[in-house]
Amino acid sequence: MPDIIRLLPDGIANQIAAGEVIQRPSSAVKELMENAIDAGATDIRVIIQDAGKALVQVTDNGSGMSAADARNCFARHATSKITGIDDLFHIKTMGFRGEALASIAAVSEVILKTRREEDEWGTCIEIDNTTLRKEEPVAMAKGTSISMKNLFFNVPARRNFLKSNASEMRHIVEEFMRIALAFPEIFFSLVSGSQEMFHLEKGSLKQRIVQLLGNGYNARLIPVQENTDYLNIFGFAGKPDTAKKTRGDQYFFVNSRFIKSPYLHHAVMTAYQELIPADSFPVYTLFIDIDPSQLDVNVHPTKQEIKFTDEKIVYAFVQAAVKHALAQFSVTPTLDFDLDASIQQLDAVTKPFTSRERTAATGSSLYQTFSRGNQAHKIEKSELKDWKEFFTPPSAVEEPFQPITHTLQEPLGLPGRNDLPESDSQYLQILRTYILVAYPGGLLMIHQQAAHERVLFERFSLAIKGKALPSQRCLFPSVLPLSPADSVLLETLLPDLAQLGYQIEPFGKDTFAIQGTPADLEAGTERRVIEQVLEQFKFSTGSLQVTPREKLIRGLARQQAIKAGVSLAPSEMRHLTGALMECATPNVSPFGQPAYAVLDHGSLEKLFAH
């Protein structure tokens, strides 16, 4: 029998590698920007066409490459950053695997132009599907320009898996923002089509955060700075009033590399534990500088996940640094012992500190940790139990997202609209949350917020597919300034929002004017509704993938619904109960929360049986 094991051709091998490294246009943006940073660039410009499907171009003023390096950089595992095995454990650069350019060349048409300071001419190379098509000298400034055209042109199946332009552009903006946050000393710009979305001048970290996240954070950021012999932590954390109901605007960087770490996020959450609601998330941009030998960055294809040699000590330092920052700026409550006379009568204050007690105290491991140099990493650490449960927000536990198929079960025992009493006096509100009404079959209890969310969701679903909801023109339009990323998102949602009664128009760079709102929307709430819908849209998660349109109407239903704790007039209770009975799926809210409960006569009798 012939041998059946054979080596894959380079072209196929490169495409397989590209499947890990270049998953979408934003992956290429990330890799090319990181290469520019490693080249020492102080000016990096990104140009995007057709959400990166037609063109991704990154131009920098870095060190450039020789003609030989320009050819070799497209070979697999070709890199200038690793010379021996030990280098893998002391990585200080952004890129290091030598797979980025090879992967990009395997799935696109690439034009590279580069010149070093000492060279009279630069080099221009064109590569198509890993094949060198052209090499010639070119006149250009010092630096490198790489253009990636027609992504996945030779892998149509992969191209079909790309999302809409709006979705792909959001991913590009996310990657761009992460890198721009990590390097405020570098000028960055991002141009999409003919519009410059970002123009970020060099400056301080705080200036860069405000540039990217919005001017609203300018006076609401607290500096974080802790230096130890094991690691340094610095950055900014938001004051408690910046906390949001959804995850977002939370960034961790380790040695200037963006990472995702639920474990470290939990450390920050515990620092805020008594300051913000349990279902809220603080804003922060935190940097950890640590010896590269204490971590492994080579554990994930996108390098967004890393492993620490001692993750518990990193957790402890992050938590302590944020707590210290909040306390320093009088955000956390403090105790003034001078104000309490009883404190002065305690043994610890009135009795002398004997030599025996002093010896016992100074001999403890905790004392030695803080009194000797190079001992911080030897702090004795208690086990952190149930941190994953803490990371899960209470809202996700109390109101789990349920697949839509689950909500289509037959609602048992629900009275018809004709069975409901017509008199307003028959409707009773309990705890300003539940509506109680008796009907011939028993007792009906309705959760007013869940019920209203269901009513609004079905109304919006019909409107977005058919006749638009009526809109009421605002006498004084509201101006809505947004961050560049949110501005891109809102632009994509404007047609659907118009169907739902919102008349919103661009009003300058990253600013919109709300000209009209649904007729039943409470005046003055339109800005808050749109802002919170954008937050929910960006960061909502669930066990079922839903369309962007459905995410939008779910978010609007939640924001516009009557909240628990709001007093209702009897007529409002009757109207809401009747509207719920007419819904196609009245038994649950759009998020899976039960909307009502029924106690029939049999159940009531059992409650009081002997």
The 3 state secondary structure assigned to 401-464 is CCCHHHHCCCCCCCCCHHHCCCCHHHEEEECCCEEEEEECCEEEEEEHHHHHHHHHHHHHHHHH
Q: How confident is residue 234, by pLDDT bands cut at 50, 70 and 90?
A: very high
Q: Are the CB atoms for 57 and 146 separated by under 8 Å? A: yes
Residue 515 to residue 479: CA distance in whole angstroms: 9
pLDDT greater than 50 at residue 388? yes
Residue 184 to residue 202: CA distance in whole angstroms: 6
Tokens linked to 225: 């700075």
In a domain? residue 14: yes
Last residue of a domain, one of 166, 187, 203: 203
106 and 229 fall within a common domain = no
604-606-608 Cα angle (round to 5): 80
In a domain? residue 502: yes
Across the strands, what pairs with 428? Answer: 436
Q: What pLDDT score does 406 carry?
A: 34
Last residue of a domain, one of 162, 180, 203: 203
Instruction: Round the CA-based radius of gyration of the chain to a whole number and report it.
Output: 30
Residue 382 to residue 380: CA distance in whole angstroms: 7
232 and 282 fall within a common domain = yes
pLDDT greater than 80 at residue 414? no
In a domain? residue 5: no
160 and 194 fall within a common domain = yes
324 and 364 fall within a common domain = no
Query: How far is the CA of 166 from the CAs of 104, 227, 493, 537, in angstroms?
Result: 22, 42, 9, 13
Buried b (16+ CB within 10 A) or exposed e, 585-606: bbbbbbbbbebbebbeeeeeee
Q: What pLDDT score does 76 carry?
A: 67
419 and 511 fall within a common domain = yes
35 Cβ contact list (under 8 Å, min separation 6)? 58, 94, 95, 100, 101, 144, 146
537 and 520 fall within a common domain = yes
Across the strands, what pairs with 594? Answer: 588
- What integer best gives the mean pLDDT of the chain? 80
**What average pLDDT does this structure show over 302-318?**
80
Sign for the CA dihedral angle at 81, 86, 91, 97 comes to positive
Residue 169 to residue 346: CA distance in whole angstroms: 63
**What average pLDDT does this structure show over 285-311?**
75
What is the per-residue DSSP string for 324-345? Answer: HHHHHTT-S----GGG-GGGGG
Q: SS3 for 80-100, per residue?
A: CCCCCHHHHHCCCCCCCCCCH
Q: SS3 for 536-582, per residue?
A: HHHHCCCCCCCCHHHHHHHHHHHHHCCCCCCCCCHHHHHHHHHHHHC
Q: What pLDDT score does 416 carry?
A: 67
- Least confident range from 21-35, 379-393, 590-604: namely 379-393
195 and 227 fall within a common domain = no
In a domain? residue 384: no
113 and 131 fall within a common domain = yes
Which of 86-100, 391-405, 576-590 has maximum average pLDDT?
576-590
124 and 152 fall within a common domain = yes
Buried b (16+ CB within 10 A) or exposed e, 433-451: bbbebebeeeebebbbbbb
Q: What pLDDT score does 354 carry?
A: 62
Letter for the amino acid at 266? H
Tokens linked to 84: 């021996």
> What is the residue range of 370's domain?
337-376
Sign for the CA dihedral angle at 81, 87, 91, 97 comes to positive
Q: What pLDDT score does 103 carry?
A: 82
Phi then psi dihedrals of residue 323, to 5 deg = -60, -45
In a domain? residue 70: yes
Query: Which CATH number belongs to the domain containing residue 51 in this structure?
Result: 3.30.565.10
Query: Which CATH number belongs to the domain containing residue 259 in this structure?
Result: 3.30.230.10
Sign for the CA dihedral angle at 194, 200, 201, 207 comes to positive
Query: What's the domain count of the chain?
Result: 4
- Could you report the per-residue pLDDT of 469-504, keeping only the tens digit for each? 888 888 888 898 888 778 888 888 898 899 999 999
171 and 188 fall within a common domain = yes
Last residue of a domain, one of 183, 203, 223: 203
Q: Give residue 531's region: left, alpha or beta (phi > 0; psi -120 to 50).
A: alpha
Q: What pLDDT score does 6 carry?
A: 73
Query: Which CATH number belongs to the domain containing residue 409 in this structure?
Result: 3.30.1370.100
Across the strands, what pairs with 314? Answer: none
- Could you report the per-residue pLDDT of 94-140, keeping only the tens digit for each? 655 557 788 888 888 999 999 999 999 999 999 987 788 899 999 99
In a domain? residue 389: no
- Least confident range from 17-21, 63-67, 370-374: namely 370-374
Q: What pLDDT score does 519 carry?
A: 81
In a domain? residue 396: no
107 and 79 fall within a common domain = yes
Residue 568 to residue 572: CA distance in whole angstroms: 6
In a domain? residue 390: no
165 and 228 fall within a common domain = no
Q: Are the CB atoms for 247 and 536 separated by under 8 Å? A: no
Tokens linked to 340: 């309490």
Residue 62 to residue 441: CA distance in whole angstroms: 78
Q: Any alpha helices (H) in 250-331, and if so which ranges?
A: 262-271, 311-328
pLDDT greater than 80 at residue 608? yes
Q: How confident is residue 542, by pLDDT bands cut at 50, 70 and 90?
A: very low
260-328-342 Cα angle (round to 5): 125
Q: Which residue carries 């132009």 as its tokens?
A: 113
